[in-house]
Amino acid sequence: MAEPGHSHHLSARVRGRTERRIPRLWRLLLWAGTAFQVTQGTGPELHACKESEYHYEYTACDSTGSRWRVAVPHTPGLCTSLPDPIKGTEC
């Protein structure tokens, strides 16, 4: 039961502050969502690399005495789905 002079309803002062915070919260959530999308790379879809868009290089010798042949794009970030590395020549 409410005490005399007190109400279960929010005062106009508290209600006003809460109503002002809601638009700020929405703006914050929209900003955070946009920032998340940007950092996750949502944007133009990358196409699968064509043979003309990459070349092969050999890695340095690894701990097993082997080198790997890897595809390296001419322009990083332009395409995706490069061929898998292939175990190359012995060192």
Q: Could you tell me the residue ranges of all domains in the chain?
A: 54-88
Sheet hosting strand 86-90, strand order edge to edge? 54-58, 66-73, 86-90
Average model confidence (pLDDT) across the chain: 74
Task: Indicate the pLDDT class of residue 39, thresholds 50, 70 and 90.
Answer: very low
Question: Comparing 91 with 4, which gets the higher pLDDT?
Answer: 91
**Given this model, what pLDDT does residue 48 score?**
93
Which pLDDT does position 50 carry in this prediction?
95
